Amino acid sequence: MTIKDQLVADMKQAMKDREAGKLRLAVIRMARNDIRNAEINGKKDLTDSEVISILRKGVKMREDSITEFTKGGRQDLVDQNKAEIAILEKYLPAAMGQEELTALVTAAIKETGATGPKDMGKVMKAVMAKAEGRADGKQINTVVRGLLK
């Protein structure tokens, strides 16, 4: 079952749950809408990795909102965004651990023959392709910088 199929099935279940599934239903509808817009703009059906990318953008956007709402003292909106993130993360693959990410970056450095910071682009490209949405670009960048000193 693809992620899009899972979203549809969960949306139907949330509709059946009525009051208990209102937030979940709203978040799933937003995610499906984002996916549908990307399909219309790209004029093609999205693969699971592309859907994961869209869902990660949604999580990132909400994390940024949490930072701003915390500064503004809006705890109600912080809690709502945290709940939305929890719902979206259900559809994302498990995040890569620090040791696994370090091993992946080390292998990419050997594979690309990188020797210093000037080769960071080559390493980032190789790691991003292998991580397949299981690690944040900022996190990968930090590890690559640390290993390419």
pLDDT tens-digit readout, 50-75: 888 899 899 999 999 999 999 999 99
Give CA separation, 133 vs 21, 24, 70, 83, 113, in Å.
27, 23, 27, 21, 24
Looking at the structure, do residues 125 and 69 belong to the same domain, yes or no? no
Looking at the structure, do residues 56 and 37 belong to the same domain, yes or no? yes
Q: How many structural domains comprise the chain? A: 2
Residue 7's domain spans which residues? 3-89
> What confidence score (pLDDT) does residue 101 get?
84
Looking at the structure, do residues 84 and 102 belong to the same domain, yes or no? no
What's the pTM?
Answer: 0.74
Tell me the C-alpha distance between 73 and 56, whole Å.
25
Tell me the C-alpha distance between 19 and 88, whole Å.
19
Looking at the structure, do residues 105 and 139 belong to the same domain, yes or no? yes
CATH number (domain holding residue 77):
1.10.1510.10
One-letter amino acid at 76 equals D
Helix (H) and strand (E) counts in the chain: 7, 0
For the chain, the helix, strand and coil percentages under 3-state DSSP, each to the nearest 5: 80, 0, 20
Q: Dump pLDDT digits (tens) for 9-20.
A: 999 988 888 777
Walk along the chain (149 residues) in steps of 10 and give the mean pLDDT of each run.
89 84 89 93 86 89 93 93 93 82 84 79 82 78 82
